[in-house]
Amino acid sequence: MNKKIIIINGYLASGKSTFALHLSKAIHVPCFIKDTFKIALCQSISVADRNESSRFSAVTFDAMMYAAERMMEAGYPVIIEGNFMPAGVKKTDESMRIRQLISRYGYLSLTFKFTGNTEVLYKRFMEREKSPDRGQVNTLGFEPSLKDFSSWCHNLDGFDAGGKIIEVDTTDFAAVDYEMYFRLADQFIHA
């Protein structure tokens, strides 16, 4: 048994999903990524508007927690990635739900908290919105203001699932030492 969970959380367009995919392959631990999980859940349906998309985000979180819990009850390590919300932002306190699973199964957690200059991330976000890879279910369908975008990012600041937190500033992707973070994650999982 290897009762360890890595949580990759943080600001929009900060590179969380890409990091999660590479980390999963580097340390051989299964990974659930919220946006791709949502695309998989919604393959057979169309999402009419932002309200429906938000509703499917809540369903996606529930489905991810179900899948992660199956891994955890079997004692396997797991990586989960998303913009998980703390109390008071959404109807569901996602950080509390994750903490409950960690406690229920006696897991240790490591959180990579992705942040950055929100002006830079906003530009990335707007470019990403144009990409067909985002999937219709993950696209906003409107252009938010920088102020709104910054607020959405900072809403994530209060997330805390317990355990160690490592902050990763991705304002400049080229300045990030990803190999070091992979090593830290590998040491955490295999220690």
Is-contact 86 149, C-beta < 8 A? no
Tokens for 163, please give them. Answer: 């355990």
Is-contact 163 80, C-beta < 8 A? no
Indicate the range of 50-54, 150-154, 155-159 predicted with least confidence.
50-54
Q: What is the average pLDDT across 63-71? A: 95
DSSP state of 49: S
Tokens for 71, please give them. Answer: 């891994």
Confidence of residue 48 (pLDDT cuts 50, 70, 90): low
Q: 182 by DSSP, 3-state: which?
A: helix
Looking at residue 137, its pLDDT comes to: 54
C-alpha 164/C-alpha 70 separation (Å) is 23
Higher pLDDT, 75 or 135: 75
**What domains can you pick out in the chain, each with its CATH number?**
4-190 (3.40.50.300)
Secondary structure E strands in 35-172: 78-82, 108-115, 164-169
